[in-house]
Amino acid sequence: MVNNLKNIPSVDELLTEQSLQEQLSHYNRDFVVDVLREAVEAMRTRLKAVDTEVTRAHIIKWVCQDVEQRVQVLTRGTLKRVINGTGVILHTNLGRAPLSQTALNYLHQMGSFYNNLELDLEKGERGSRYVHVEELLCRLTKAEAALVVNNNAAAVLLGLNTLAQGKEVIVSRGQLVEIGGAFRIPEVMKLSGALLKEVGTTNKTYLRDYAEAIGEDTGLLFAAHTSNYKIEGFTAEVALSDLVKLGRDANLPVMKDLGSGILFIPPSCGLGDEPTVQQCVEAGADVITFSGDKLLGGPQAGIIVGRKEYIEAMKKNQLTRALRVDKLTIAALEATLIEYLAGFPEKNLPVIHMLSLSSDELRQRAERLVEILNAAIGKQALLQSISMVEVEDMVGGGAYPTYRLPGYGVEIKFQDLKLETVAACLRRQDPAVLTRRQEDRMLISVRTLLEGDAAILAKKIYQVLHDLEAKAQKGVQH
């Protein structure tokens, strides 16, 4: 039995190695030493499994290389750019809406310098962070007042807590939704201190169901957009305006969780029947909540618009302090909302742009991507074919599940390769590349590709095929 462990130098000795000295000149000493200890420990485990002599020089080389690799991985961070070839515009897993250029510039400005987040520059007094986007939201939606919190889940929680703590909230059974990432209306209701009162059935709820349920303990009528599913067939839902009328008659506020708040629907995209935020305000809802990073196209935020008395009550609620947004969110949201005032959201907001792309534009992009891919990987042995195909894209983000946006993409077939192997290798690239699969073919939808993505995508696929081929060749030689 050889004892290689005695050949491992001490941590102090290892630290004198040139490669580790270099790490020390770039990174915090405690960090490098910690990583070195981990690498030595890994080396020990490795050596215990070996029964031939390993020289001290070899050990040093391996440990140093291991440290370099570990440091590289740790200092890169875990958040990575992803190229979205799935054709799903809003992917909660992919950070939802990419931001506009003006939002990014504004973020940079407000993040780099001091700002008047909570200072009234006119009066020289303490101000409120909530004034910043309120006027913009009111102008765009025609609501009386607005408030922004951390996300829509927080907005719903705050609304329920402020308007209905200890009181009954009447909700249709067909709207007791669960949104991805464990947002469940009944659970949020419980957390808010409001009492859920379900009415109607899963597929049908009538106005009289709400009316009959109203009693002394009722505090709120609540409606949720069933964002991520659609009940089809024999169904009935109460129109928001009818619910509002009932609320007026009974002197009860009406709150609508709209989910993905759209301010502008590109005429050609087929979502025309969906209610916009403005339409909900016009229908008379007292409180409307929606996400900032779904089809609004901004940063993560929960936007609340509605009647002044209710919004003011929410601002005074202690919960608001715990749900508050930071300056970066406000900056990005302000810039995003200004794009709607400027009047070209389909040009300047990536999400709205993707929604508005015409069939012709998408086909041209797909043709161009075929060319780029042919030039990059056309000669690879593991490639079988590259061709343009029609695809169906989706809004995603738990929104409008039944809508299919007709689009174009590129279909790639490989030779002697499991599709999952290629897909997994592409996911591990930096930027990572996400594609779709259709049976034995890889699909890349062009709708969700952003500027510069196509060229990187081609390079990454080339890299992966090249590496896989080299590996296969090596396998054959052995």
Ligand X SMILES: *Cc1c(COP(=O)(O)O)cnc(C)c1O
Would you tell me which residues interact with ligand X (CB under 6 A)? 151-153, 177, 179, 183, 224-225, 227, 257, 259-260, 291, 302, 398-399
Q: How many CA atoms lie within 13 A of 233 on its CB side?
A: 4
Residue closer to ligand X, measured from CB, 100 or 300 = 300
User: What gap in Å lies between CA 111 and CA 179, rounded to an integer?
Assistant: 32
Give the residue nearest to ligand X (CB): 259
User: For residue 350, is the peptide bond before it cis, meaning its omega torsion is within 30 degrees of 0?
Assistant: no
Give me the least distance between CB of 282 and ligand X, in Å please.
20
User: What gap in Å lies between CA 95 and CA 58, rounded to an integer?
Assistant: 44
Give me the least distance between CB of 99 and ligand X, in Å please.
16
Give me the least distance between CB of 155 and ligand X, in Å please.
8
Give me the least distance between CB of 289 and ligand X, in Å please.
8
Give me the least distance between CB of 183 and ligand X, in Å please.
5
- Orientation of helix 308-316 relative to helix 152-164, angle to 10°: 100
Residue closer to ligand X, measured from CB, 187 or 217 = 187
Dihedral angle, C-alpha 244, 245, 248, 252, nearest 10 °: -40
Residue closer to ligand X, measured from CB, 200 or 261 = 261
Residue closer to ligand X, measured from CB, 14 or 399 = 399
Residue closer to ligand X, measured from CB, 181 or 267 = 181
Give me the least distance between CB of 448 and ligand X, in Å please.
19
Residue closer to ligand X, measured from CB, 149 or 362 = 149
Dihedral angle, C-alpha 396, 400, 404, 407, nearest 10 °: -50
User: What gap in Å lies between CA 126 and CA 104, rounded to an integer?
Assistant: 27
Q: Which residue from 162, 167, 179, 248 is spatially nearest to 207, judged by alpha carbons? A: 248
Give me the least distance between CB of 135 and ligand X, in Å please.
22
Residue closer to ligand X, measured from CB, 153 or 330 = 153
Strands 254-260 and 218-224: parallel
Residue closer to ligand X, measured from CB, 46 or 173 = 173
Question: What is the DSSP track for 219-249?
Answer: EEEEEE--TT----SS-B---HHHHHHHHHH
Q: Which residue from 45, 42, 48 is spatially nearest to 63, judged by alpha carbons? A: 42
Which helix (H) or strand (E) segment holds residue 373: the answer is helix 359-377
Give me the least distance between CB of 146 and ligand X, in Å please.
16
Strands 254-260 and 287-291: parallel
